């Protein structure tokens, strides 16, 4: 059974379990669905790589709150999350001219697109309801497990063997696309998450949900070369509905 099948099974079990408990214990348990768009980037740690802007991604899945006190809850989610990011290796390809002893560098740009199953767990504080509005803040972690990694590598030399596709650019560089880049990206993320937002009550237990979240990973995303260290991070806008 692959990771996607496990995630689907876990989603079904979580949905059934929370729904059962919600019916049994009224408002202590709540379940909902959410979608988010994110702006993601790779933050360099070593000096041999540079960040190249931000990229767009997304998440979708289910969320559940266990209200153990009136204004406090434990929140759990099961998400499929797409995270992108680009870096330039400033010293990946070196050429030394033995005649004059000079060394030149050929910059190579990596455009990553990675997909993770995320299991965010957080502590949530909620205010009392003001009219139809409730405000909340949360803090926790989001263990994340890699399901796929892809990359476009732009340069004038093939950095790895057997690219899926080679696209010739107008410049002197070519664009090498890799559909299976899993062995170059570490399989685990363990980010710290912090967020805040609002709920708007519709009727009964049903409410609309919106918020902002920062997902800040502390683990190196690369596996092969430990002289190159970078961490993928993102900020997201989340919307959803609780039932």
> How far from the centroid of its chain's Cα atoms is residue 226's Cα?
22
Confidence tier at 89 by pLDDT (50, 70, 90): confident
Q: What is the pLDDT of residue 205?
A: 83
The answer, yes or no, to whether residue 114 has pLDDT greater than 80, is yes
Question: Which of 2-6, 147-151, 156-160: highest mean pLDDT?
Answer: 147-151
Q: Write out pLDDT tens, residues 7-51.
A: 555 555 555 554 554 444 456 889 999 999 999 999 999 888 888
Under 8 Å between Cβ of 112 and 42: yes
More confident residue, 36 or 2: 36
CA atoms within 13 A on the CB side of 147: 18
pLDDT of 223 reads: 83
How sure is the predictor about 160, in pLDDT bands with cuts at 50, 70 and 90? confident
pLDDT digits (tens, 9 = 90+) for 170-206: 566 778 889 999 988 999 999 999 999 999 999 888 9
- d(CA 205, CA 215) in angstroms, rounded, equals 28
Domains of the chain by residue range: 3-242
Q: Is the separation of the CB atoms in 238 and 210 below 8 Å?
A: yes
> Yes or no: is domain 3-242 CATH 2.60.40.10?
no
| pTM (predicted TM-score) | 0.82
Model pLDDT, residue 163: 86
Q: For residues 173 and 175, give the distance between their C-alpha atoms in angstroms, rounded to a whole number.
A: 7
Query: How far from chain centre, in Å, is Cα 60?
Result: 11
* pLDDT of res. 76: 96
How far is it, in rounded angstroms, from Cα 238 to Cα 240? 7
Residue 25 is predicted with a pLDDT of 47
């Amino acid at each position: 059974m692959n990771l996607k099948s496990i995630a689907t099974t876990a989603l079904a079990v979580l949905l059934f379990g929370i729904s059962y408990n919600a019916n049994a214990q009224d408002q202590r348990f709540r379940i909902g669905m959410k979608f988010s768009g994110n702006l993601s980037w790779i933050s360099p740690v070593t000096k041999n790589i540079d960040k190249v802007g931000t990229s767009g991604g997304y998440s979708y899945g289910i969320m559940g709150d266990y209200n153990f006190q009136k204004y406090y809850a434990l929140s759990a989610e099961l998400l499929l999350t797409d995270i992108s990011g680009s870096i330039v290796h400033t010293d990946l390809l070196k050429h030394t001219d033995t005649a004059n002893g000079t060394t030149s560098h050929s910059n190579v740009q990596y455009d990553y697109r990675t997909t993770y199953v995320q299991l965010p767990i957080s502590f949530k504080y909620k205010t009392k309801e003001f009219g139809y509005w409730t405000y909340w803040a949360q803090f926790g972690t989001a263990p994340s497990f890699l399901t796929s990694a892809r990359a476009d590598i732009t340069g004038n030399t093939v950095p790895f063997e057997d690219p899926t596709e080679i696209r010739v650019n107008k410049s002197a560089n070519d664009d090498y696309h890799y559909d299976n880049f899993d062995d170059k990206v570490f399989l685990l993320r363990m980010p710290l998450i912090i967020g805040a937002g609002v709920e708007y009550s519709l009727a009964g237990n049903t409410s609309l949900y919106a918020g902002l979240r920062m997902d800040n990973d502390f683990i190196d995303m690369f596996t092969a070369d430990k002289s190159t260290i970078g961490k993928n991070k993102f900020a997201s806008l989340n919307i959803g509905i609780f039932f």
